[in-house]
Amino acid sequence: MINITDKALCNGCNTCTVACPIDECITMHQDQEGFLFPQVNMDTCVDCDKCEKVCPYIPEFEMRKKEPQRYDKPLVYASYSKNHEVRVDSTSGGIFSELAFKMFDQNGYVGGAVYNEDYSVSHILTNDRNKLDEIRSSKYIFSLTDQLFPEVKKQLKAGEKVLVCGAPCQISGLYTFLKKDYENLITCDFICKSVNSIKVFQKYIEWLENKYKSKAKKIKAKDKTTGWHKFSMRVDFENGKSYVADRYHDPFFVGYLQTELFTMEACYSCQFRGFPRPADITLADFWGIENVDKSMDQDLGTSLIMINSDKGKEYYESLGDAIVSKEFTLKEAEPGNSAIYYDTKKLINREERKAFYEDLDKYPFDEIAKKYFPMPTLENKIKKKLKMLKSVFGLIKQIGVSPISWWQIFYYNFLSSKVGEKGQLKFIVFRNSKIQLNNKAQVLLKNKLIIGKKQVKSSNIETRMLIEERGKLEINGKFYIYAGSYIRVIENGHLVLNGGFINEGVEITCATKIIIGEGCTISRDVVIRDYDGHNIESPGYQIAKPITIGNHVWIGNRAMILKGVTIGNGAIIAAGSIVTKDVPAGSIVAGIPAKVIKKDVKWKV
């Protein structure tokens, strides 16, 4: 049965609730942060496992890996509607509206997100053309799909044509619920940065209603009053007044884009980015189009279209003269749309997040905004610069005046296109560190990475880091890589370091995904590999499997952690052990292969 113990592994797609054959056995409940998660009534559950079989987060049941067929590399277009009113009223270039018009013309149904009376968001399915104004445009908060999925299935089985637009995780959930693709179904997803808390958004609207002394009647999250590039939040009120503020001055946008305090946890490590995409067609803003083709940018909104299937290609081409469309390469679209591949770049600061939501229950939204995400002021900018200067002087004391090290520090903190969160001194490189970031490699610095630190400063021991094509290194907590270590992220691998250190001579090889939790202590000459390197011809054999190492884990000298292993929080791996199976939390394992020798152990540095 579904049991959510880690909120990072649930996006609230509702698939489990609608798949359950027992009425109200699985229901969605809002947590303190304003996100909805499933809860199972154990008194009525019959252990049929239907909820698990449709969950897009459970790999063995994940239908999207089997079907429908999607392109490994999409066809890419810049596009916009020729209908000026539709284009201006849309989030991007109005292409979703044109896709919807085409479906309505065929007497089909269109599914999308609409605001409810309480400013929450739900997905609906409709054949009423007049509903399109409500569906059109982005809603940046969590949406309910419990009514959508069964209705889509009903209409598809009746032979009706259906177009559905949702987040990639929702579209993936739809397919696992349907259990197959339908010829009469067209799906659209979008390049999604993250979704936000219903509770925070409702508090924000409540503040505006109090300020304007009137109930909100229309919300436009990407109003183009000040232009598409400088999109604004617009709220119209029943008393005739309007609130308009661009993304740099609207507190909701500032909090969402700059702090991500109210982003859903699953969005920090989204499993639905990259390719192949879940949907037939992917929609987005074509950010950066002015650098690719100025003729496609009039600051009115230009859509990025990614065609992911033959069915999607045929449907998009059927729009014909209703749109302006021009083909580009994926490489041309990538610079302004990092969310195609990469997760939100902030670290979950649980203490700050907890305090934020506690304050949200006590104070008006404007007071919350001033405390947690104040508008940029000259005073704040000066303080930030002084803090950086102080950091520089501190580094000089540690590193000395090595020209190569200082060039690397400058390059990776301020120049490299492969490093996220640039402009701050987060990538610290000591002497004799060799770093190679191959094509489309990415380093996401949500906290500091210190590489090549030496215990004996005059030592010439070399530290190496290689991130291969589309490999990703994610630093979520301050992390030290001591001298003599070798970090290798193989093509498409994802290494997540949540805070702690690896001592001298450690080797980490990541081909799928390796997660090392907060506060881990990894001793000298440890080897961590999720990849065998050579294939064995044997039924069921897998050359690589992910490794998860929990928080506060101590790994002893010369231990080896091999593919497919999960190590629980607070565990201790004895020196020289070879770990081939999961390690329970709070236990000590030792030997070759490692076995549990003691349980319920607590340790401290």
Q: Taking phi first (over 0 means left), then psi (-120 to 50 degrees means alpha), and beta for anything else, what does residue 79 get?
A: beta
Q: Which of 229, 494, 534, 552 is catalytic?
A: 534
Q: What share of the chain has pLDDT > 70, as a percent? A: 92
Residue 109 shares a structural domain with residue 164? yes
Q: Is the residue at 1 inside a domain?
A: no
Gap between the Cα atoms of 107 and 101, Å rounded: 10
**Torsions phi, psi for 473 (to 5 deg):** -115, 125
pLDDT of residue 62 exceeding 50, the answer is no
Task: Give me the residue label for tokens 């000259």.
Answer: 378
Residue 233 shares a structural domain with residue 103? no
Q: Is the residue at 399 inside a domain?
A: yes
**Among 64, 91, 112, residue at a domain's last position:** 64
Q: Which domain CATH number covers 401?
A: 2.160.10.10
| 88 burial via Cβ count (<10 Å: 0-12, 13-18, 19+) | middle
pLDDT per residue over 102-122, tens digit each?
Answer: 999 999 999 999 999 999 999
pLDDT of residue 532 exceeding 70, the answer is yes
pLDDT of residue 457 exceeding 80, the answer is no
Q: Is the residue at 282 inside a domain?
A: yes
Residue 91 shares a structural domain with residue 179? yes
List the domain range (segments joined by +) for residue 555: 392-598
Gap between the Cα atoms of 116 and 256, Å rounded: 21
pLDDT of residue 59 exceeding 60, the answer is no
Residue 81 shares a structural domain with residue 222? no
Q: Is the residue at 180 inside a domain?
A: yes
Gap between the Cα atoms of 590 and 496, Å rounded: 25
Residue 323 shares a structural domain with residue 357? no
- How large is the average pLDDT for residues 291-296? 95
Q: Is the residue at 451 inside a domain?
A: yes
pLDDT per residue over 352-379, tens digit each?
Answer: 899 999 999 999 999 999 999 987 665 6
pLDDT per residue over 300-322, tens digit each?
Answer: 999 999 999 999 999 999 999 99
pLDDT of residue 66 exceeding 60, the answer is no
Residue 80 shares a structural domain with residue 150? yes
pLDDT per residue over 166-190, tens digit each?
Answer: 999 999 999 999 989 999 999 999 9
How many Cβ atoms sit within 10 Å of the Cβ of residue 584? Answer: 15
Residue 279 shares a structural domain with residue 428? no
- Of 433, 471, 470, 468, the closest CA to residue 449 belongs to 433
pLDDT class of 63 with cuts at 50, 70, 90: very low
Gap between the Cα atoms of 237 and 215, Å rounded: 6
- How large is the average pLDDT for residues 267-284? 90
Residue 247 shares a structural domain with residue 275? no
Q: Is the residue at 177 inside a domain?
A: yes
**Torsions phi, psi for 516 (to 5 deg):** -115, 120
Q: Would you state the pLDDT for residue 344?
A: 62
- What is the rounded average pLDDT for all residues in the chain? 90
- The secondary structure of 221-277, three-state, reads EEECCCCCCCCEEEEEECCCCEEEEECCCCHHHHHHHHHCCCECHHHHHCCCCCCCC
Identify the helix (H) or strand (E) that includes residue 65: none
pLDDT class of 64 with cuts at 50, 70, 90: very low
Residue 403 shares a structural domain with residue 293? no
Global confidence as pTM: 0.69
Q: Could you confirm whether 249 is annotated as catalytic?
A: no
Q: Which domain CATH number covers 11?
A: 3.30.70
Q: Is the residue at 380 inside a domain?
A: no
Q: Is the residue at 603 inside a domain?
A: no
Residue 176 shares a structural domain with residue 316? yes
Task: Give me the residue label for tokens 């479906």.
Answer: 103
Looking at the structure of the chain, the number of domains it has is: 4
Gap between the Cα atoms of 132 and 113, Å rounded: 10
Gap between the Cα atoms of 195 and 352, Å rounded: 19
Q: Would you state the pLDDT for residue 383?
A: 67
What sign does the dihedral 342-344-348-349 (CA atoms) show?
A: positive
Residue 411 shares a structural domain with residue 451? yes
pLDDT of residue 207 exceeding 90, the answer is yes
Compute CA distances 420 → 318, 345, 425, 448, 578, whole Å.
39, 7, 12, 12, 35
Residue 248 shares a structural domain with residue 319? no
pLDDT of residue 295 exceeding 80, the answer is yes
- The secondary structure of 363-396, three-state, reads CCHHHHHHHHCCCCCHHHHHHHHHHHHHHHHHHH
Q: Would you state the pLDDT for residue 61?
A: 45
